[in-house]
């Protein structure tokens, strides 16, 4: 397997030392009384909300946390082994807008978009888990997170990754997935739900973020706890400086999670990217964004912790050549650096608009990139000396048994066009985006995810109704 190295071993050591120095000398603000008490009792220096965490406490948390997190699908089948250099791709969340898959219109996202995203994910072979690609606008806004899970669990058997506003909504989400699984115990034994929480860079951990982290730890539901840094804004403009803050923030969450429940599953990362000072926008397509994620992955590999990563994103406002360039570069970097849970596939418009076409094109890019990273097998059969001798100078290999045995090893695309011009023209002269949109519509029209039983559907409807009653 081919690998990329975006950071050398000595630089990993230096970066971790910088992160530990941030944690021990500067500290972070913890706005959660339960977490403050836990940290103080563990031996951290606590002054008001400012907490400094000694390196030995961080090291104990790293040792206690699982190095591999096994994730299952809704039916209890093994789906993802998050650890090592195993790579799994999925969409992202929280886009307020969505490209309508029927009309192409950019409009506010609705609940059906979360359902459609899950259905498309269910059908795409190289998208491993579902996120919603949206934040729902046509339901009770304070329950957008609960509505997403309600929509997605009915439209895919693949694992679900989500986010939540607060611990009350998070409890609804856990209850909903437990109902789909059969019980909380079954969900804990074979989790198909992962939930994202986030510190506020630089070095602030809110009550809500830690409430969610601690609830997940207590329930042994996998948690992603990673910052969303903007280099030059909420983090230093330099990659090493951003890494130091990002690692300090995610390791703070790891410590708190392990203090709540030793062995609680957590996925770490120092996620973010640069601010473009010309536009004052956080650029997902910048090479520095890829370098930051790649270096973060290598650092957390060195700690033997599961890695959060991102790829398949574009700053483009339509799905065009820019979208393909940025998505391809990110996917190549994510696979090369061995990110485990790789999210945001299908983001467009600087993360403001969800695109099922981008998701579908990236599914093809992922397949192509996986083949590239498989590399080349060199053995006697591959060198094919006997068949070369048989065919000899001026011959051809088309009818040879060796060709019949091996031609299927050549990667075969679905969306990418390899026809001659006349054939392409006869098939409608469609570009890649048009072909991707056609595929999306075909999936939405014909793909049938494995349904929930009526009993389970009724149970999750009751949980959603309970949340709605609370929100009124």
Tell whether the torsion through CA atoms of 465, 466, 471 and 472 is positive or negative: positive
How many Å apart are CA 254 and CA 226, to the nearest integer?
10
Q: Are 155 and 444 in contact (CB under 8 A)?
A: no
pLDDT of 1 reads 67
Q: Are 254 and 268 in contact (CB under 8 A)?
A: yes
d(CA 191, CA 264): 12
Q: Which pLDDT belongs to residue 6?
A: 87
- Tell me how far apart the alpha carbons of residues 73 and 158 are, in angstroms, rounded to a whole number: 5
Region of residue 122 (phi > 0: left; psi between -120 and 50: alpha; otherwise: beta): alpha
pLDDT per residue of the chain (472 residues) written in tens, 0 to 9: 678 888 999 999 999 999 999 999 999 999 999 999 999 999 999 999 999 999 999 999 999 999 999 999 999 999 999 999 999 999 999 999 999 999 999 999 999 999 999 999 999 999 999 999 999 999 999 999 999 999 999 999 999 999 999 999 999 999 999 999 999 999 999 999 999 999 999 999 999 999 999 999 999 999 999 999 999 999 999 999 999 999 999 999 999 999 999 999 999 999 999 999 999 999 999 999 999 999 999 999 999 999 999 999 999 999 999 999 999 999 999 999 999 999 999 999 999 999 999 999 999 999 999 999 999 999 999 999 999 999 999 999 999 999 999 999 999 999 999 999 999 999 999 999 999 999 999 999 999 999 999 999 999 999 999 999 999 8
């Amino acid at each position: 397997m081919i690998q990329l190295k975006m950071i050398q071993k000595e630089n990993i050591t230096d970066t971790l030392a910088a992160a530990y120095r941030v944690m021990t000398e500067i500290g972070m603000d913890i706005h959660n009384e339960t977490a403050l008490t836990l940290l103080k009792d563990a031996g951290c220096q606590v002054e008001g909300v400012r907490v400094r965490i000694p390196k030995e406490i961080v090291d104990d948390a790293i040792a206690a946390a699982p190095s591999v997190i096994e994730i299952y699908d809704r039916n209890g089948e093994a789906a993802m082994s998050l650890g090592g250099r195993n790579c799994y791709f999925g969409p992202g969340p929280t886009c307020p807008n969505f490209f309508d898959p029927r009309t192409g219109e950019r409009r506010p996202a609705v609940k059906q978009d979360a359902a459609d995203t899950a259905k498309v994910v269910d059908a795409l072979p190289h998208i491993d888990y579902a996120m919603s690609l949206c934040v729902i606008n046509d339901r009770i806004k304070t329950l957008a997170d609960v509505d997403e899970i309600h929509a997605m669990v009915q439209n895919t058997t693949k694992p679900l990754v989500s986010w939540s506003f607060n611990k009350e909504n998070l409890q609804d989400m856990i209850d909903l997935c437990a109902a789909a699984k059969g019980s909380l115990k079954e969900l804990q034994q074979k989790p198909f739900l992962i939930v994202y929480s986030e510190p506020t860079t630089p070095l602030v951990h809110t009550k809500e973020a830690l409430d969610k982290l601690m609830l997940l730890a207590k329930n042994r539901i996998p948690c992603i706890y990673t910052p969303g840094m903007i280099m030059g804004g909420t983090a230093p403009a330099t990659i090493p400086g951003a890494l130091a803050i990002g690692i300090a923030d995610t390791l703070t969450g790891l410590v708190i999670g392990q203090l709540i429940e030793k062995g609680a599953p957590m996925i770490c990362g120092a996620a973010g990217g640069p601010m473009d000072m010309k536009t004052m926008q956080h650029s997902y397509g910048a090479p520095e964004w890829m370098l930051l994620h790649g270096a973060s992955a290598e650092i957390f590999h060195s700690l033997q912790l599961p890695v959060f990563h991102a790829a398949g994103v574009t700053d483009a406002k339509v799905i065009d050549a820019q979208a393909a360039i940025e998505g391809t570069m990110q996917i190549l970097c994510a696979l090369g650096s061995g990110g485990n849970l790789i999210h945001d596939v299908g983001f467009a418009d600087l993360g403001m608009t969800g695109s099922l076409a981008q998701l579908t094109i990236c599914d093809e890019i992922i397949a192509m990139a996986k083949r590239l990273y498989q590399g080349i097998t060199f053995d006697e059969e591959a060198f094919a000396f006997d068949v070369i001798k048989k065919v000899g100078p001026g011959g051809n290999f088309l009818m040879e048994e060796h060709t019949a045995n091996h031609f299927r090893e050549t990667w075969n695309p679905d969306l990418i066009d390899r026809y001659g011009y006349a054939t392409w023209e006869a098939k409608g002269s469609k570009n890649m985006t048009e072909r991707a949109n056609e595929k999306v519509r075909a999936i939405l029209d014909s793909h049938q995810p494995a349904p929930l039983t009526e009993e389970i559907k009724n149970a999750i409807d009751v949980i959603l109704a309970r949340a709605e009653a609370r929100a009124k």
